[in-house]
Chains A and B, each alone.
Chain A
């Protein structure tokens, strides 16, 4: 895809900045459009997002339903793998997390409450030098993230939403929770992480969505 190095990247970034400015100048006024301006509290809602109190569901296929006695979570490194059963996973120390979440389809939901196991806890139990992760899920979904975005208390494997076990349509029994990136990175029905040296696109990234997905920089699609 668009992973280029050095000068080329700089030129592409420069061009994007130019195009962004150009398009700011060139946007025509939409005659009679006022907008409803549901922007939410200052500093909480990224550009182009609106606040909702619903919890919309977006996924590409049927909702998988894996029984807990068949569920495992695994981390695969180049050299081996580590796996937890549901009981082992739930015995790990869990944290309560309150976070704002931002979907690429433009809704944001503020102060969502979760319980989950920090990815730091999971990664501490494997030896690795990887820089990237491909998270994988029941149903075949994958998404790619830098290890740096999954560590340092910024990512969890969440199993509880709003005081209740996470519902299947929202990714239960467990989903990744990476609230500082667009929510497609928070893989539903997550079953494990593959540690990698290189950044390989996951499911939506293969279909043109952004490799990183920072909502504050509106990285919705490749090249944004």
Chain B
């Protein structure tokens, strides 16, 4: 598969924070008014740079939450020992300026031309780039069938919870730590039995995108290969345990 090389330097640019919206107690979506933003593709990420008043800087990468053509947005989970995410999740306000550059990455991306059927596998905030793909699928009018299996700790930790039920897609939740009263869905970490029940059969030649913490991605990607998915149809993005 040919890459799409970034042409020239990825320059830092100034964006204005348009809005901040709480998704869960630990997660918020930030829309960014970035006049110089080039078109991105669903699944790509961007770099954010913060500057303290003594010139100290910190940069981190965040998945882009919006589809191409929509107002640019990122969704950030506060990592308690993080450096940048607590600032973005707690301090940043509408009207603030934020430096960013991108888009970055060109492998973990989906557009209608890539086809499907789509299998989206999210662990925690790994839903963010997959949400961009769902939005792109809807925006482009793609009729590619899609299934999402989303692993969260609890119902209150499900990011984009209301929005996800509105897509023309099969959405299956598993809640690994706590379940609401009367919950009849999955209540465990993703395992091979769950994959076999939810994933498209290998004969459908689905295109799988797996994003989440390392342990989640390892389990899911290995499981899909065992189910017969060719490794080149399983694209992964892992979050390290640290960072933020």
Task: State whether these chains interact.
Answer: yes
**Which A residues lie at the B interface, using CB under 8 A?**
1-2, 16, 19, 23, 26-38, 48, 50, 52, 54, 56-64, 105-107, 139-140, 169, 201, 203, 206-208, 221-224
A63 touches B222 (CB 8 A): yes
Closest A residue to B60 using CB positions: A106
B236 touches A208 (CB 8 A): no
Does B26 sit at the interface, judged by CB under 8 A?
A: no
- Chain A residues lying within 8 Å of B97, measured Cβ to Cβ, are 28
CB distance from A106 to the nearest CB of B (A): 7
Query: Can you give 17 A-B contacts (C-beta < 8 A)?
Result: A16-B9, A27-B51, A29-B52, A31-B96, A52-B240, A56-B239, A62-B221, A62-B234, A62-B236, A63-B221, A106-B60, A107-B243, A206-B3, A207-B3, A208-B4, A208-B106, A221-B6
B11 touches A23 (CB 8 A): yes
CA of A61 to CA of B231 in the docked complex: distance in angstroms? 7
Question: Known interface pairs A221-B6, A221-B10, A222-B6. Does A32 touch B232 (Cβ–Cβ under 8 Å)?
Answer: no
CA of A222 to CA of B104 in the docked complex: distance in angstroms? 11
A105 touches B240 (CB 8 A): yes
Known: A63-B221, A63-B222. 13 other contacts (CB 8 A): A1-B5, A19-B11, A31-B96, A34-B52, A35-B50, A35-B58, A57-B214, A57-B240, A60-B108, A60-B237, A107-B240, A206-B2, A222-B7
Does B12 sit at the interface, judged by CB under 8 A?
A: yes
CB distance from A28 to the nearest CB of B (A): 5
CA of A27 to CA of B48 in the docked complex: distance in angstroms? 12
A30 touches B51 (CB 8 A): yes
CB distance from B64 to the nearest CB of A (A): 15
CA of A221 to CA of B98 in the docked complex: distance in angstroms? 20
Closest B residue to A202 using CB positions: B3
Question: Known interface pairs A38-B83, A208-B10. Does A29 touch B236 (Cβ–Cβ under 8 Å)?
Answer: no
Does B8 sit at the interface, judged by CB under 8 A?
A: yes
Q: Which of A26, A31, A35 contacts B56 (CB 8 A)?
A: A35
Question: Known interface pairs A48-B59, A54-B240, A61-B234. Does A2 touch B8 (Cβ–Cβ under 8 Å)?
Answer: yes
- Chain B residues lying within 8 Å of A48, measured Cβ to Cβ, are 57, 59
Q: Which of B87, B106, B224 contacts A33 (CB 8 A)?
A: B87
Question: Known interface pairs A27-B49, A32-B87. Does A107 touch B242 (Cβ–Cβ under 8 Å)?
Answer: yes
A222 touches B8 (CB 8 A): yes
- Chain B residues lying within 8 Å of A207, measured Cβ to Cβ, are 3-6, 105-107
- Chain B residues lying within 8 Å of A28, measured Cβ to Cβ, are 14, 51, 97, 99
Closest A residue to B3 using CB positions: A206
| 0/1 interface trace, chain B 78-94, chain A, CB 8 Å (1 if under) | 00001100010001000
| B contact residues, total (Cβ < 8 Å) | 54
Question: Known interface pairs A33-B91, A201-B3, A222-B5. Does A59 touch B231 (Cβ–Cβ under 8 Å)?
Answer: no
A169 touches B59 (CB 8 A): no
B52 touches A35 (CB 8 A): yes
| 0/1 interface trace, chain B 4-37, chain A, CB 8 Å (1 if under) | 1111111110100000000000000000000000
CA of A23 to CA of B101 in the docked complex: distance in angstroms? 12
CB distance from B144 to the nearest CB of A (A): 21
B9 touches A223 (CB 8 A): yes
- Chain B residues lying within 8 Å of A1, measured Cβ to Cβ, are 5
A60 touches B107 (CB 8 A): yes
CA of A36 to CA of B52 in the docked complex: distance in angstroms? 11
A105 touches B83 (CB 8 A): no
Does B173 sit at the interface, judged by CB under 8 A?
A: no
- Chain B residues lying within 8 Å of A16, measured Cβ to Cβ, are 9
A61 touches B235 (CB 8 A): yes
A221 touches B104 (CB 8 A): yes
CA of A30 to CA of B6 in the docked complex: distance in angstroms? 28
A206 touches B5 (CB 8 A): yes
- Chain B residues lying within 8 Å of A61, measured Cβ to Cβ, are 221, 231-232, 234-236
Does B241 sit at the interface, judged by CB under 8 A?
A: yes
- Chain B 98-116 interface residues, beta-carbon cutoff 8 Å to A: 98-99, 104-108
B5 touches A33 (CB 8 A): no
B241 touches A54 (CB 8 A): yes
